[in-house]
Structure 1
Amino acid sequence: MKVTIDNITIEVEAGTTIMQAARKIGPEVAPPAMCYYEPLKSSGGKCRACLVKVTAGSEKDPRPMPKLVPACITQVQDGMIVENAINEQVIETRKGVVEFLLLNHPLDCPVCDQAGECHLQDFSFEHGVASTRTVEERNTFEETDLGPHIKLNKNRCILCYRCVYTADQITDGRVHGVMHRGDHAEISTYIEQAVDNDFSGNMIDVCPVGALTDKTYRFKSRVWFSKPVDAHCSCDKCSGNVILWYRGDEVIRVTSRKNEWGESLEFICNTCRFDRKKTSDWTIEGPSKISRNSVISANKYGANLIRPAFPIQHAAQNFKQIEDDRDRSFLNIPTSLPAAEK
């Protein structure tokens, strides 16, 4: 089937979703995803971050779809035309989605372990606004232990359901889920310390925000101060292919390897994740590939970082040019500086 996304036409197989088709083109066209996770079946359709405009349903029926549709669960039709980043309605809608996701989300990025690799940070940076219209107090919850390895910060949870699907599909039995309804809904268990199985740590990897955190890593280091290295071991439970995160010579955490969309390539067991924290436990393959526009690459790639246009756009929209012709001679500011000071 032929589908056109942001004026780029590609051919895909029947049953392909708009999200999958856009990802084949590249990150400049792919919609953001907060709940969709390709390795997890039935994920998607929860957060509405990937809404797109279908201006032509198909070649047989070229009528546009009346409302924006979620790209992660909408299958393409032959001749479909989709607008994502080039549609103003889509961009404005995503600003509203960001605002809803941040209604109760705490502004604790400086102390959150997810900072620097948080999908909500990226989403709000690219599509959000710097101001808020709410004055009401945010919903707050106490931190909760979900078993011996995971700490749950419900304040940060955006109810993406990824951890629920993970527990359903790769563990022996799910013991947590979404309790209550509406604005009272929350991720929880009936009994604390209940989550305890060999693959429960993967819920940490799939969480797009800092709601589920690793107890062995909490508050140890910021992600941009650590060095990621690909490694593997012979494990009888999982593939053993992981990323070791070093701070100096110390392995401060172990995670699964991820693709360019931040999705786990293979799920790993708790033994590899929590118990093997020595270099001698692993066979080192080499430095992990990190996107150069990621904050994780800070101080690792010199001056080759891609500078986002957001700060300049924000300044242009929110600040005005200063026109000041006052005499500043009394400040004794030199008109030229020596080359060394420059």
Structure 2
Amino acid sequence: MSTEIKKFKITIDGQTTEVMPGTSILEAARQIGGKSVPPAMCYYKPLESSGGRCRTCLVEVSKGSEADPRPMPKLVASCRTGVMDGMEVKNLTSEKTQEGRKAVTEFLLVNHPLDCPVCDQAGECHLQDLGYEHGVQATRTDFERRTFEPEDIGPYIKLHMNRCILCARCVLAANQLTEEREHGILFRGDHAEISTYLNKALDNDFIGNVIDVCPVGALTDRTARFASRVWFTKPMNASCSCGKCSGKAVLWMKGDEIVRVTARKDQYDEVEEWICNECRFDRKELSQWTIEGPRHISRHSVISLNHYQKPADEHTLLSNSHAKEISTADGQKTEN
């Protein structure tokens, strides 16, 4: 007879939920939903061993557990820290967390060029969103930024190493989707860069997915470069008959023209099902697809409506009706 596994109770920004043992703080926050979910630049749930590199998901643990209620002395990476029973976490409600995230954002922007007006990732860039929320107007470093020449690492993929934040998502995706990975992180420290081994081209049938997992504009689709800004296109769910993948994709339309094709992503911008190169790069005619209807892109962006006017009680907004509120210090309760 199987025994029922006891779930752990965790409270994040005053919102309580129960999760299975082994769940990370970030996944627990996503289970609650709402505005208390920490951002993630390197963590990607579909990719094994992702996370722990960018530190944008830092949170404050104000109570370790019921057994040991002492707070953790430093901010922790929520994607790599497991939940303990009775743990209490502060994300939006912690000034220490916001200051730490601001410092991480400034660090990521030290070498990152502010070329958003010409970058194809503008409007879909997580670093652009973080830069708006936590960035500073000027850099404090006196050193020159690292610069690289744009590189074609295959017939369909353009690499802009200047924009790379070394999240390693593309490397992990290639490890998971291809039998013989041909690119990776070369050198170490400040000299580290993404590149191919011996100038090989990335031509695996599923290698185009590295474009979708990139959180910035370091890897872009050569077939759609400078074709249109993302906010001028309309995303449409579509499917086709494909023997290599599910054939389920998103067509980014400009009138009757297919500007680009991407995999379908969830609300956290993570790919639901990988698609092959043929669907992504070669099928650009409407007759090759069955249109299912318009797709709602729920992830926030600096171009989203009303994003520039944040509500004062942002941390109390919930999107999960099953999450419970706890009383505040003055005895009041916030509403779901």
Specify the TM-score bucket, using the shorter chain as the normaliser.
0.7 to 0.9
Q: Identify the residue that residue 126 of structure 1 maps to in structure 2.
A: 133
Distance 2:272 2:237 in 1: 13
Q: Identify the residue that residue 255 of structure 2 maps to in structure 1.
A: 248
The Cα shift of 1:250 comes to 0.8
Q: How large is the Cα RMSD of the aligned pairs? A: 1.5
Aligned length: 304
Match of 1:199 among 195, 199, 206: 206
2:242 is the alignment partner of 1:239: no
Q: 5 Å matches for 1:82-93?
A: 82-93=89-100
Q: What is the TM-score with the length of structure 2 in the denominator? A: 0.88
The Cα shift of 1:292 comes to 8.2
Q: Identify the residue that residue 164 of structure 1 maps to in structure 2.
A: 171
Gaps of 5+ in 1: 298-304, 313-342
Amino acid paired to 2:309: A
2:313 is the alignment partner of 1:309: no
Q: Identify the residue that residue 274 of structure 1 maps to in structure 2.
A: 281
Secondary structure of 1:244's counterpart equals strand
2:78 is the alignment partner of 1:51: no
Secondary structure of 1:111's counterpart equals coil
Distance 1:166 1:307 in 2: 31
Secondary structure of 1:216's counterpart equals helix
2:12 is the alignment partner of 1:8: no
Contact 1:145/1:192, CA 8 A, preserved across alignment? no
The Cα shift of 1:175 comes to 0.9
Secondary structure of 1:191's counterpart equals helix
The Cα shift of 1:131 comes to 2.9
2:125 is the alignment partner of 1:115: no
Secondary structure of 2:22's counterpart equals coil
2:160 is the alignment partner of 1:153: yes
In structure 2, the CA distance between the partners of 1:245 and 1:51, relative to structure 1 (3 Å rule), is same
The Cα shift of 1:215 comes to 0.5
Gaps of 5+ in 2: 1-7, 313-336
Residue by residue over 1:153-173, the C-alpha shift from the partner in whole angstroms, topping out at 9 and shown as x without a partner, is: 000000000000000011122
Q: Identify the residue that residue 325 of structure 2 maps to in structure 1.
A: none
Secondary structure of 1:36's counterpart equals coil
The Cα shift of 1:294 comes to 4.1
Q: What is the TM-score with the length of structure 1 in the denominator? A: 0.86
The Cα shift of 1:137 comes to 1.6
Distance 1:254 1:296 in 2: 21
Match of 1:17 among 6, 24, 33: 24
The Cα shift of 1:217 comes to 0.5
Q: If you compute each CA radius of gyration, which structure gives the higher value, 1 or 2?
A: 1
In structure 2, the CA distance between the partners of 1:59 and 1:292, relative to structure 1 (3 Å rule), is closer
The Cα shift of 1:147 comes to 1.3
In structure 2, the CA distance between the partners of 1:292 and 1:67, relative to structure 1 (3 Å rule), is closer
2:73 is the alignment partner of 1:60: no
Distance 2:88 2:164 in 1: 34
Q: 5 Å matches for 1:181-196?
A: 181-196=188-203
Amino acid paired to 2:201: A
2:106 is the alignment partner of 1:99: yes
Match of 1:78 among 75, 80, 85: 85
Distance 1:293 1:189 in 2: 33
The Cα shift of 1:134 comes to 2.1
- Comparing 98-107 with 119-128, greater Cα deviation is found at 119-128
Contact 2:267/2:299, CA 8 A, preserved across alignment? no
